Chains A and B, each alone.
Chain A
Amino acid sequence: MVAVLQVEGLQTWFGTKDAPVRAVDGVSFSVARGEILGLVGESGSGKSITGFSILGLVDPPGRVVGGRVLFQGQELVGAPPETLRRIRGKKIAMIFQDPMMTLNPVLSIETQMVEAVLAHDDTPRAEARARARDALGLVGIPSPEERLGAYPHQFSGGMRQRVAIAIALLHKPDLIIADEPTTALDVTIQSQILFEVRRLADAFGMALVWISHDLGVVASLADRVAVMYAGRIVESGGVDDILDRPAHPYTRGLLDALPATARRGERLRPIPGMAPAPTARPSGCAFRTRCFAAGPDCAAAEPEPTRAGERQWRCFHPLAEAAA
């Protein structure tokens, strides 16, 4: 399969040269056409900054200090701002947790969507308007024709998020990066949006990077999963491999901590300790201070990626279940 997006050794740092905050520190993954990649990990692990880095949206003092981002073979790291602007919104779209990062509160939905069409396509206004209306219908907004004239505050949170998704779909992008787009929504509304997303990815062959800390959502939606810890992807592979037979003790730990894993009223099994701040990561494997499988070798060096078929992990002591 040809990768739509290939990220290699991406490093995005904040802070100063002398005291860098390594928010993203050597992230590699790829996404193929029509594929949904779930990017999971605890708060602060670097999921959002990874998404922003791909689109060149990291604000100073943050900067991409290393690695490559290949979109359909084209290098985006260091690409001229004009090139990035042409690609953003047209070929790659981003959906944020808060739809108001996409929507302007003082403009009607119609104005915003028509402008979004015209930003990249030289079409008559009437045609742009028709595309906007169709996109609203696609994401399940009832009576899209009438709703076009509405303002964001006249919509519920779930409907606003659907409008943001509709805007992302206007140009039928080849890649969508969605950063926790349903985290703030209710279960029934989330379920409506996941339904549309799955359908659209299948229908148009869009590739999707779906950032979430909710393993249940990722399990129901994704084809492949990448697990982030302390600025790195510690394990990635097919959704069944990762969730049923994790190789990395961190993935195992995340799954074991879920209430669904324990019997009702039984004690849950949290991972001991807390995720380290980017400025206070342990030497060697960053997870070793919380890891049940760690040995003395884990402190000495950082584990490099091990490949096995479609999956890979960074761990000196991968779990036996992965090999089976």
Chain B
Amino acid sequence: MTPLIEGRGLTRRFTRGLDVAEKLARALGANIREEVVHAVEGVDIAIRQGEVFGLVGESGCGKSTLGRVLAGILPPTDGELLWRGRDVAGLSRADRLEMRLAVQMIFQDPMSSLNPRKRVIDLIGEAPRVHGLVRAGEVDDYVASLMQRVGLDPAYRRRYPHQFSGGQRQRIGIARALAVRPKLIVCDESVSALDVSIQAQVINLFMDLREELDLTYLFISHDLGVVKHISDRVGIMYLGRVVETAGADDFFAAPNHPYTVALLKELPSVKDRRRDFTPIRGEIPSPLDPPPGCAFHPRCPRAMPVCSADLPALKPVAAAHWSACHLNDMPALRPASETAA
């Protein structure tokens, strides 16, 4: 089956320009160059209609950037983006607009993505009206039904975002995304800032909406517990690259990549008591200057000489399970998950 959305070799780099002081220093002969952030590097990803794809990884590894590239908000520096099997670069204007509406993004901090000077009715109702999905006279009823759908009292539709709690604002963001009848929703840390109880309410809402509206989700989070709960498939990023992807059961039961193994082991759980922490040493390296070979090698407990020389490719290690680790090329040393047990 053709994936709903697919990325092939997606790459996104940012150039950090020089500030005035640095330009001056360079004019005086200092060796300062513009820096290039390798935010996303050569990512292959495919999301099927109706599935929840969980994307995890630590801060700065490129999750949001990949999400924004897939949502069509940020053009890739390199690589191909396919929507229902068709290259987005070659779409007609009309088709591109359709894709724009079909893919909606929900952010972590609804306060910064909701215009504070607009009332809820306009925040939710504007886009569907502008794009002709509802007639002007029907906007009020349409917004009321969406608010009801996400568990907000429609009586509040003339209020401003600051008059709502964090969990309610997140619901406003969800209603706004739903208003243009999307197929794919990119949730970028959309429950991370919420207290457990409100988080549970919003996660339930996401799961209900998926059933009712046949939605597909790219669910970005650094919280593995949340991702485990709602995902069908999981991908993990390290420094701009996807290093492992698998069905959720397999991913959590039989992780392959040493980074995944370590991360799962370090996840604090309510079942732990006075735990012996055995942390991975070292800092997360800078995307300005990614280590050569496998980017994880400076911190990897199983690194070998080849790891600092060659970039390991993402290869199948089991059914629907890919991992990018040189250990998989050395049958005698495989697999990482056995050493974790």
Contact B229 A219 (CB under 8 A): no
For residue A42, which residues in chain B have a CB less than 8 angstroms away from its CB? 195-197
CB 8 Å contact bits of B96-115 with A (1 = contact, 0 = none): 00000000000000000000
CB 8 Å contact bits of B260-289 with A (1 = contact, 0 = none): 001100111111111101111101100000
CA distance A288 to B262 in the complex (A): 42
For residue A198, which residues in chain B have a CB less than 8 angstroms away from its CB? 274, 277
Task: Indicate if B228 sits at the interface (CB-CB under 8 A).
Answer: yes
CA distance A88 to B75 in the complex (A): 52
CA distance A308 to B48 in the complex (A): 54
Task: Indicate if B59 sits at the interface (CB-CB under 8 A).
Answer: yes
For residue A275, which residues in chain B have a CB less than 8 angstroms away from its CB? 195
* CB of B8 to closest CB in A, whole Å: 29
CA distance A259 to B204 in the complex (A): 10
From residue 215 to 251 of chain B, which have CB atoms closer than 8 A to chain A? 222, 224-226, 228-230, 248-249
Q: How many residues of B contact A (CB 8 A)?
A: 44
Contact A186 B284 (CB under 8 A): yes
Contact B197 A219 (CB under 8 A): no
CB 8 Å contact bits of A180-203 with B (1 = contact, 0 = none): 000000111111101100100000
Contact B272 A192 (CB under 8 A): no
Contact A257 B226 (CB under 8 A): no
Contact B270 A187 (CB under 8 A): no
Q: Do A192 and B197 form a contact, CB below 8 Å, given A187-B263, A274-B167?
A: no
Task: Indicate if A84 sits at the interface (CB-CB under 8 A).
Answer: no
Q: Do A255 and B270 form a contact, CB below 8 Å, given A189-B284, A264-B229, A268-B229?
A: yes
Task: Indicate if A98 sits at the interface (CB-CB under 8 A).
Answer: no
Partner of A267, one of B207, B225, B270: B207
For residue B279, which residues in chain A have a CB less than 8 angstroms away from its CB? 188, 191-192, 194-195
Central interface residue in A191, A219, A239, by most chain B CB within 10 Å: A191
For residue B263, which residues in chain A have a CB less than 8 angstroms away from its CB? 187-188
CA distance A159 to B285 in the complex (A): 13
CA distance A267 to B202 in the complex (A): 11
Central interface residue in A159, A217, A265, A269, by most chain B CB within 10 Å: A265
CA distance A195 to B278 in the complex (A): 7
For residue B165, which residues in chain A have a CB less than 8 angstroms away from its CB? 274
Partner of A243, one of B199, B226, B268, B270: B270
For residue A268, which residues in chain B have a CB less than 8 angstroms away from its CB? 200-201, 203-204, 229
Partner of B198, one of A158, A239, A270: A270
For residue A187, which residues in chain B have a CB less than 8 angstroms away from its CB? 58, 222, 224, 263, 266-267
* CB of A235 to closest CB in B, whole Å: 15
Contact A220 B277 (CB under 8 A): yes
Contact A191 B266 (CB under 8 A): yes
Contact A259 B59 (CB under 8 A): no
Task: Indicate if A74 sits at the interface (CB-CB under 8 A).
Answer: no
Contact A270 B273 (CB under 8 A): no
Partner of A219, one of B166, B198, B249, B271: B271
CA distance A190 to B195 in the complex (A): 19
Contact A274 B198 (CB under 8 A): yes
Stretch at the interface among A57-65, A128-136, A208-216, A292-300: A208-216
Contact B207 A254 (CB under 8 A): no
From residue 229 to 258 of chain A, which have CB atoms closer than 8 A to chain B? 239-240, 243, 253-255, 257-258
For residue A265, which residues in chain B have a CB less than 8 angstroms away from its CB? 207, 229-230
* CB of A293 to closest CB in B, whole Å: 16
Contact B195 A267 (CB under 8 A): no
* CB of A51 to closest CB in B, whole Å: 18
CA distance A177 to B36 in the complex (A): 40
* CB of B208 to closest CB in A, whole Å: 8
Task: Indicate if A260 sits at the interface (CB-CB under 8 A).
Answer: yes
Contact A216 B229 (CB under 8 A): no
CA distance A194 to B199 in the complex (A): 25
For residue A16, which residues in chain B have a CB less than 8 angstroms away from its CB? none
For residue A118, which residues in chain B have a CB less than 8 angstroms away from its CB? none
Contact B267 A219 (CB under 8 A): no
CA distance A198 to B283 in the complex (A): 20
**Interface pairs A-B: 10 shortest CB-CB:** A216-B268, A270-B200, A195-B277, A259-B229, A268-B200, A191-B279, A186-B58, A220-B272, A220-B275, A191-B266
Given contacts A190-B268, A259-B200, 8 further A-B contacts (CB under 8 A): A156-B284, A189-B284, A190-B266, A219-B270, A257-B196, A260-B225, A264-B230, A268-B201
